[in-house]
Amino acid sequence: MSGRTVTIAQVAKHAGVAVSTVSYVLSGKRTISADTRRRVLDSISALGYHPNAGARALASKRSNVIALVLPLRAGMHVPVLMRFASAVVTAARRFDHDVLLLTADEGTQGIRRVAASALVDALVLMDVELDDRRVPLLRELAEPSVLIGFPAEPAGLTCVDLDFAAAGARCVEHLAERGHEEIALLGAASVVYDRGTGFATRTREGFVEALDDHGLKGVALPCEETFDEVYETVRDLLLDRPGLSGLVVHNEAAVSHVLAALRQLGRRVPDDMAVVAICPDDVAERAGPPLTSVLIPAEEVGREAVRLVMEKLEGRTVPDSTLLTPLLAVRAST
Amino acid sequence: MSGRTVTIAQVAKHAGVAVSTVSYVLSGKRTISADTRRRVLDSISALGYHPNAGARALASKRSNVIALVLPLRAGMHVPVLMRFASAVVTAARRFDHDVLLLTADEGTQGIRRVAASALVDALVLMDVELDDRRVPLLRELAEPSVLIGFPAEPAGLTCVDLDFAAAGARCVEHLAERGHEEIALLGAASVVYDRGTGFATRTREGFVEALDDHGLKGVALPCEETFDEVYETVRDLLLDRPGLSGLVVHNEAAVSHVLAALRQLGRRVPDDMAVVAICPDDVAERAGPPLTSVLIPAEEVGREAVRLVMEKLEGRTVPDSTLLTPLLAVRAST
DNA sequence: GCCGGTCGTCGAAGCGCTTCGACACTCTCA
DNA sequence: TGAGAGTGTCGAAGCGCTTCGACGACCGGC
């Protein structure tokens, strides 16, 4: 192994070459003969050499670290967040980058700090609000960034997300195909709409528009996340709309409560009430009965965000807006 | 603001002092006159100076970054994880450190890499298994580390966790006080026990021991996380043990399923069945009815882990084992 | 047989910071 | 009044890496 922290100079000596040669072997920025390369690589593994990140960052002006700015706020469904985060980390590693975790409670301060100190090369922000304080800062930053989600004014930014409007519409379409004529959307908690979080609003718009297109009756309601509130909402909904036979649920935390409430109100799924969820696959599969759902492709979104940010780091131009097409998986609930 | 990336040399020139003086103002490692200090600080904010992280790390051999190694595996309840993670980030910032996110799928490789490259000064690991591959590596690493959770052989390591044995016992005690004579523990998914994750096993042990101490009858069962499986488990349990009047649930993902199953089986909470959960407060409060619970003090554990790792970075010795006392909050379910 | 052009390697100059030793002062106390 | 003990500041030497320009060695073409 190592006697203590091995440097490139020791590798160079061990291999009988210049320091710069070792560097070029590692970066591949100049051609190196196969023979020399082998000797260097052998020395590297013999000594257990790992380049010092600080020195490398200082000399190359690249830290090989990207920041992931998480929200961690009320109304966000955390497991979904984590899947994004995990996807971002995995994707970043594939580009030989690490991920620095920034939480929103440090606010714009933290973003400015890690950018100005060159701790990170680029940023990926999650859970962007329609009117997000962080957005103006991003515009003035030299470091490239990618948003997961869309602010109200996305000009000049790079944004990725599931096409939630299409997702809402897709659910309507599916229920229409199944012959339902009156349906309802149970959406996010009202605080999420109030905050103007884009995905909730866009799903609702897609839902409402599709209602029209297919000539269905229906309504879109916010949906809180305690059992009692969900129960009330569902009960009132059934009372108000006796013809209702289909439900779209876009709220991971409320899914199991909705199902429990229906059960308690004597409605069988799918016989009396068809249910479509917009949620991650595992939530849909784990429910009783397993739910027909439009999955939130967290892995894909995270991967795409990283790909885009890497493209920008290379100086290439990328599309302002990337919308991923929703996919509907039919299960037992419709 | 800035013309582009401000260096310490520019600050020194602007303030009319030597570079080293600026450095000492920032670090406080030598006494500086009040007058000079003011001039320097003024220049810093006038120029918008942020020390370059790479240069600083190179010169000082400290990156001011700690690694947070997350599991992201089956059977872990993700929201709880996130609360730990968030607490770690917040606590680390209080010590002027940032947090690098490492996921377990990189395995020991990733840990070795970030440690050897001096990308991080120290590590905090979550969700430690009884027999954890990462543990031997930690022992040979020069960088200090703290584990959240306990491996089978914790000698020479620093571990923090809620005292789950005490938590299990506390639940039994509470139900005993309420006059229940036969109770059951619904624990983690069986895969979690099979893997030998410490917290699940320790809760069960504490539960079983306390059963004895209080002279109660009872049983401890694993508990899967889909509604149908939970329903079966609960139904069989009620069939097998007609005298059962109290339930301890130590599985965040199953909590709402358990309640729904009881409802469906015609049991009222708390009249026919008392329920105590071991879970974060918000899960307990959100349930219907709100659950008496032993909370998992994620924030406190995260904070403590960071405090310990910082102590170790300062070269101070810290206790091998830190167990946080469980607190029981009485709500509507008992 | 000479010229221009790769190819492969080297040496050295930084990157921006911390830290060590030196040094010029100013106090204090004998 | 001068030795000794602080103070407050400076200059310079790295920290370990990347990258630029230079330079032999070798190639093919005329």
Query: Which DSSP letter does residue A105 get?
Result: G
> Whole-angstrom Cα distance, residue A256 to residue A286?
9
pLDDT confidence of residue A2: 41
A:B CB pairs within 8 Å? 150
CA–CA–CA angle A40, A45, A48 (5° rounding):
120
Q: Dump pLDDT digits (tens) for B95-113.
A: 999 999 998 778 788 999 9
Which secondary structure element, helix H or strand E, spans residue A160, and what is its range? strand A159-162
Where residue A118 falls (left for φ over 0; alpha for ψ -120 to 50; beta otherwise) is: left
Q: Mean pLDDT lowest for which of A92-101, B238-247, B270-279, B296-305?
A: B296-305
Shortest Cα–Cα distance, B262 to chain A (Å): 11
Residue among A153, A110, A109 at smallest CA distance from A135: A153
What are the start-end ranges of the H helices in A95-226? 107-116, 134-140, 164-177, 190-194, 198-213
- Strands of the sheet containing B65-70, edge to edge, are A321-324, A159-162, A145-148, A122-125, A65-70, A98-103, B98-103, B65-70, B122-125, B145-148, B159-162, B321-324
Q: Which of A53, A90, A98 sits opposite B105 (nearest CB)?
A: A90
Instruction: List CB contacts (< 8 A) between B252 and chain A.
Output: none
pLDDT confidence of residue A77: 58
Q: Mean pLDDT lowest for which of A19-28, B210-219, B294-303?
A: B294-303
Shortest Cα–Cα distance, A205 to chain B (Å): 29
Average pLDDT of chain A, as a whole number: 91
Instruction: List CB contacts (< 8 A) between A72 and chain B.
Output: 82, 86
Instruction: List CB contacts (< 8 A) between B256 and chain A.
Output: 227, 256-257, 260
The nucleotide closest to A59 (CA, C1' atoms): C15
Across the interface, whether the CB atoms of A117 and B53 are under 8 A apart is answered yes
Using the structure, give the distance in angstroms from the CA atom of B114 to the C1' atom of D3, rounded to a whole number.
54
Q: Is B11 exposed, middle or buried (0-12, 13-18, 19+ CB in 10 A)?
A: buried
Locate tokens 């030998």: which residue?
Answer: B196
Please enumerate in sequence order all residues whose Cβ is within 8 A of that of A140, keeping only pairs 6 or more positions apart, or say none.
none
Residues written for chain A: 334
Distance of CA B105 to the CA centre of its chain: 19
A23 CB contact with strand D at below 7 Å: yes
pLDDT confidence of residue A76: 53
Nearest residue for C8, CA–C1': A32
Query: Which DSSP letter does residue A197 get?
Result: B
Chain A segment 120-179 residues within 8 A of B by beta carbon are: 142
Cα within 13 Å of Cα(A35), Cβ side:
2
Residue among B142, B245, B252 at smallest CA distance from A1: B142
A8 CB contact with strand D at below 7 Å: yes
Q: Dump pLDDT digits (tens) for A245-289.
A: 999 999 988 998 899 899 889 999 999 999 999 988 878 887 878
Residue among B292, B300, B301, B243 at smallest CA distance from B270: B292
Which secondary structure element, helix H or strand E, spans residue B322, and what is its range? strand B321-324
Whether the bond between B242 and the residue before it is cis, its omega within 30 degrees of 0, is no
Structure-token pair, residue B87: 């607490």
Residue type, A240: D
Shortest Cα–Cα distance, A68 to chain B (Å): 9
pLDDT bracket for residue A129 (50, 70, 90):
confident
- Look at residue A73 and tell me whether its pLDDT is greater than 80: no
Tabulate helix, strand, coil % of chain A (nearest 5). 50, 15, 35
Identify whether the C-beta of residue A248 lies closer than 8 Å to the C-beta of residue A185: yes
DSSP A276-313: EEES-HHHHHHSSSPPEEE---HHHHHHHHHHHHHHHH
Across the interface, whether the CB atoms of B50 and A288 are under 8 A apart is answered no
Query: SS3 for B176?
Result: helix
> Whole-angstrom Cα distance, residue B9 to residue B22?
9
Q: Dump pLDDT digits (tens) for A206-234.
A: 999 999 999 999 999 999 988 889 999 99
Question: Could you count the other beta carbons within 10 Å of the beta carbon of residue B90?
Answer: 18
Whether the bond between B154 and the residue before it is cis, its omega within 30 degrees of 0, is no
Q: Please give the backbone phi and psi of residue A186, each rounded to the nearest 5 degrees, phi first.
A: -100, 115
Across the interface, whether the CB atoms of A58 and B55 are under 8 A apart is answered yes
- Bridge partners of A103? A70
Q: Dump pLDDT digits (tens) for B131-174.
A: 888 999 999 999 999 999 888 888 889 999 999 999 999 999 99
Instruction: List CB contacts (< 8 A) between A90 and chain B.
Output: 103, 105
- Look at residue A60 and tell me whether its pLDDT is greater than 80: yes
Nearest residue for D7, CA–C1': B31
Share of chain B above pLDDT 90, in %: 73
Average pLDDT of chain B, as a whole number: 91
Rg (chain B; Cα; Å): 25
Cα within 13 Å of Cα(A248), Cβ side:
35
Q: Dump pLDDT digits (tens) for A2-44.
A: 447 899 999 999 999 999 999 999 999 999 999 999 999 999 9
Q: Which tops the pLDDT comparison, A242 or B253?
A: A242
Across the interface, whether the CB atoms of A227 and B259 are under 8 A apart is answered yes
- Look at residue A305 and tell me whether its pLDDT is greater than 50: yes
B207 CB contact with strand D at below 7 Å: no
Residue type, A183: I
Shortest Cα–Cα distance, A90 to chain B (Å): 8
pLDDT bracket for residue A100 (50, 70, 90):
very high
Shortest Cα–Cα distance, B212 to chain A (Å): 35
Instruction: List CB contacts (< 8 A) between A71 and chain B.
Output: none
* Residues engaging strand C (CB under 7 angstroms): A 16-21, 24, 30-33, 35-37, 55, 58-59; B 5, 7-9, 19-20, 23-24, 26-27, 29, 49, 51-52, 55-56, 58-60
> Whole-angstrom Cα distance, residue B277 to residue B185?
10
Q: Which of B53, B78, B260 sits opposite A118 (nearest CB)?
A: B53
Mean pLDDT value across residues B30-43: 94
Instruction: List CB contacts (< 8 A) between B260 and chain A.
Output: 256, 259-260, 263
pLDDT confidence of residue B1: 42
Chain A segment 20-59 residues within 8 A of B by beta carbon are: 48, 50-58
- Look at residue A197 and tell me whether its pLDDT is greater than 80: no
> Whole-angstrom Cα distance, residue B11 to residue B14?
5
The CA–CA distances, whole Å, from B43 to B28, B54, B55, B180, B306 equal 17, 22, 20, 70, 33
- Look at residue A148 and tell me whether its pLDDT is greater than 80: yes
For residue A119, the chain B residue with the least C-alpha distance is B53
Give yes or no for B225 touching A (CB within 8 A). yes
Shortest Cα–Cα distance, A206 to chain B (Å): 29
> Whole-angstrom Cα distance, residue B319 to residue B146?
11
Alpha-carbon torsion angle B254, B257, B263, B265, nearest 10: -90
Nearest residue for D16, CA–C1': A55
> Whole-angstrom Cα distance, residue A282 to residue A280?
6
Give yes or no for B272 touching A (CB within 8 A). no
The CA–CA distances, whole Å, from B207 to B77, B170, B236, B253 equal 21, 8, 20, 20
Query: Which DSSP letter does residue B67 get?
Result: E
Strands B328-329 and B292-294: antiparallel
Across the interface, whether the CB atoms of A54 and B50 are under 8 A apart is answered no
Q: Dump pLDDT digits (tens) for B60-95.
A: 999 999 999 987 554 455 666 778 888 999 999 999
Structure-token pair, residue A270: 């799918």
- Look at residue A82 and tell me whether its pLDDT is greater than 90: no
Query: Which DSSP letter does residue B95 get?
Result: T
Query: Which DSSP letter does residue B33 get?
Result: -
